[in-house]
């Protein structure tokens, strides 16, 4: 009787172990898929910026000019309503201070656009090869799988290098890192950590939510736009129409501001400092 109970317990342990291992394999696949989607998202962002970046920058430049003109008009109205003269120099200083954040955003946008223009496209071989090596490494050292990853400094450093190399599709670096990872794992004397079933299910659910978020938000959703020539043409047309609208609005604001100042001696000196 005792032997039967012991055999049943052993079988239950084996079944639970097999179930955990199946869940672990599912988690491994999801983690690799998630990281691949992140990588694809970055590629779509680069391609999107290469395609539309110049027009987006031009539109943003016009937008902040319009914002600046509106602020200038508001400043003049406040002064005139109080019967005060318009101090153009003081107005310009106040506007420059208020517009600082917009200038920073514009410079960041220009840098991103220029960086995207210089970015190289990754060939399919390097992408496929780097993905295979990354998959092998993720199976033994991903922080969501290996219990040592959160505490061992060498593994933490190696994992950061692996992620960076994978993002760059640097096959040579990944191959070198694989040797270092194997050596580190041998030092630790344990390649895999098998969490309990509840913990694995929780992690799987979390990664599935992350994957869904990637698939349904920008920049991953740019992929559909970039693959469709008609959609790209329509989107470019919308951006051009937005550009034309900003130009017309800016002209109207400039005319309004000029009329407000034409009755006095002050002349507007407009310098966006871009």
Whether the per-residue pLDDT at 172 is higher than 80: the answer is yes
Residue with tokens 């943003």: 60
CB proximity list for 23: less than 8 A, separation 6 or greater: 197, 200, 201, 204
Nearest to 233 by CA among 41, 45, 43, 55: 55
CB proximity list for 38: less than 8 A, separation 6 or greater: 214
* pLDDT, averaged across the chain: 83
155 domain residue, yes or no: yes
Whether the per-residue pLDDT at 265 is higher than 50: the answer is no
Whether the per-residue pLDDT at 191 is higher than 70: the answer is no
Distance CA 153, CA 195 (A): 21
70-77: Cβ within 8 A, 24+ apart:
70/253, 71/95, 71/98, 71/99, 72/257, 72/268, 72/270, 73/253, 73/256, 73/257, 73/260, 76/257, 76/260, 76/261, 77/260
Contact 139, 145 (CB under 8 A): yes
Q: What pLDDT shows up at residue 263?
A: 62
Contact 109, 60 (CB under 8 A): yes
Split into its structural domains, the chain has a count of 1
DSSP state of 121: P
17 domain residue, yes or no: no
CB proximity list for 270: less than 8 A, separation 6 or greater: 68, 72, 92
Of the given ranges (9-18, 175-184, 198-207, 219-228), which has the lowest mean pLDDT?
9-18
Q: What is the pTM of this model?
A: 0.71
14 domain residue, yes or no: no
Q: What pLDDT shows up at residue 65?
A: 95
Residue with tokens 């970046």: 53
**pLDDT tens by residue, 209-229:** 999 999 999 999 999 999 999
67 domain residue, yes or no: yes
Distance CA 255, CA 104 (A): 27
Domain that holds residue 219: 26-261
84 domain residue, yes or no: yes
Q: Count other Cβ atoms within 10 Å, centred on residue 50.
A: 16
Q: Which residue has better confidence, 266 or 195? A: 195
- Burial of 62-74, coded b for 16+ CB within 10 Å and e otherwise, reads bbbbbebbeebbe
Distance CA 244, CA 236 (A): 12
Percent of the chain with pLDDT over 90: 41
10 domain residue, yes or no: no
Report residue 222 as tokens: 């740019």
15 domain residue, yes or no: no
Q: What pLDDT shows up at residue 267?
A: 44
């Amino acid at each position: 009787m005792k032997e039967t109970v012991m055999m049943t317990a052993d079988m239950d342990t084996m079944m639970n172990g097999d179930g955990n291992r199946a869940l672990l394999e599912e988690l491994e696949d999801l983690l690799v898929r998630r990281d691949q989607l992140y990588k694809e998202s970055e590629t779509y962002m680069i391609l999107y910026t290469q395609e539309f970046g110049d027009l987006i920058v031009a539109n943003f430049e016009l937008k902040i000019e319009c914002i600046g003109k509106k602020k200038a008009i508001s400043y003049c109205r406040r002064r005139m309503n109080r019967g005060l003269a318009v101090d153009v120099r003081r107005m310009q200083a106040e506007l420059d201070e208020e517009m600082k954040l917009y200038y920073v955003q514009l410079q960041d946008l220009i840098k991103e656009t220029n960086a995207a223009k210089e970015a190289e496209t990754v060939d399919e071989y390097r992408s496929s090869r780097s993905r295979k090596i990354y998959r092998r490494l993720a199976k033994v050292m991903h922080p969501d799988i290996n219990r040592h990853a959160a505490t061992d400094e060498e593994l933490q450093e190696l994992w950061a290098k692996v992620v960076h190399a994978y993002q760059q599709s640097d096959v040579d670096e990944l191959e070198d890192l694989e040797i270092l990872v194997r050596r580190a794992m041998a030092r630790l004397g344990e390649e895999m950590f098998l969490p309990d079933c509840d913990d694995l299910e929780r992690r799987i659910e979390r990664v599935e939510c992350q994957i869904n978020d990637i698939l349904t938000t920008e920049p991953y959703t740019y992929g559909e736009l970039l693959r469709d020539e008609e959609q790209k043409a329509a989107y470019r047309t919308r951006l051009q129409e937005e550009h034309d609208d900003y130009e017309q609005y800016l002209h109207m604001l400039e005319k309004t501001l000029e009329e407000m100042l034409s009755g006095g001696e002050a002349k507007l000196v407009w310098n966006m400092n871009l």
